[in-house]
Chains A and B, each alone.
Chain A
Amino acid sequence: AQTVTQSQPEMSVQEAETVTLSCTYDTSESDYYLFWYKQPPSRQMILVIRQEAYKQQNATENRFSVNFQKAAKSFSLKISDSQLGDAAMYFCAYRSVIQGAQKLVFGQGTRLTINP
């Protein structure tokens, strides 16, 4: 079974600076999807960025980018130019590409605080 581990329960960063959230996972599959989700306080969880394991190029979405190290099974999220609205719980998640697979396996989450 796949597992996802986020070793940083809490992180904080000064506004406008850069922060990196860590995620490692364990799987025996060679192809899969990885995701970062953001859950602001009392608001809905939304997808921040996704990475397909067969793609070597790291995904980027505006100020959000990932460092995908397949051999190390590492998938970190970098947030550049942090903004107050980035404060949230961030969850790393894994999904298999097996036909019909729908289950998302989540990490424990990292609470990110932005200091003004």
Chain B
Amino acid sequence: ETGVTQTPRHLVMGMTNKKSLKCEQHLGHNAMYWYKQSAKKPLELMFVYNFKEQTENNSVPSRFSPECPNSSHLFLHLHTLQPEDSALYLCASSQRSGGPQMEQYFGPGTRLTVT
């Protein structure tokens, strides 16, 4: 379970705060993902990065700003969030190439509460 790590595990922030979520993968993968998991809703893909380049933005509001400085690290910068943004944010990584072996490995998530 240490292949993909996320910090912090829990975060409480006010609507005017700026904070960042961090994800690190130790699996040698070259693709990384951010997902949002809200209660009673399916996991929603937010962003995809391949070889540090953003390749998918799933219509995410600009108050969420991702950053991928290298293939092992992924950040999600948060500012001016709304209470409805409270959720579990999951990071995942995989190999970029296709095929069933392109399994996504998930981190434990950051539980975000916006007050």
In the assembled complex, the Cα of A102 lies from the Cα of B98 at a distance in Å of 8
User: Inter-chain contact count A-B, CB under 8 Å?
Assistant: 50
Interface band, chain B: 20 to 34
CA distance A103 to B98 in the complex (A): 11
> Which of chain A's residues have a CB closer than 8 A to the CB of B89?
none
Q: Which one, B17-25, B69-77, B79-87, B99-107, is touching chain A?
A: B99-107
Contact surface of A with B, Cβ cutoff 8 Å = 4, 9, 33, 37, 42-47, 50, 52, 91, 97, 99-109
Point out the residue from B31, B98, B103, B109 that lies within 8 Å of A47, measured CB to CB.
Answer: B103
Question: Does B27 sit within 8 A of A, measured CB to CB?
Answer: no
A102 touches B106 (CB 8 A): no
Question: Does B43 lie at the interface of the complex (its beta carbon under 8 Å from any beta carbon of A)?
Answer: yes
Give A93's nearest chain B residue, CB to CB.
B43
In the complex, what residues of B have CB within 8 A of residue A42's CB?
108
Can you list 14 pairs linking A and B with CB atoms under 8 Å apart? A4-B42, A44-B106, A44-B107, A44-B108, A44-B109, A45-B90, A46-B106, A102-B31, A102-B33, A102-B50, A102-B55, A102-B56, A104-B43, A104-B45
Tell me, yes or no, whether B94 is within 8 Å of chain A by CB.
Answer: yes
The answer to whether B68 has its CB under 8 Å from any CB of chain A is no
Question: Provided the pairs A46-B106, A52-B100 are in contact, do residues A102 and B94 lie with their beta carbons within 8 angstroms?
Answer: yes
Q: Report yes or no: A45 in contact with B106, Cβ–Cβ below 8 A.
A: yes
Contact A104–B41 (Cβ < 8 Å): no
Closest to B50 in A: A102
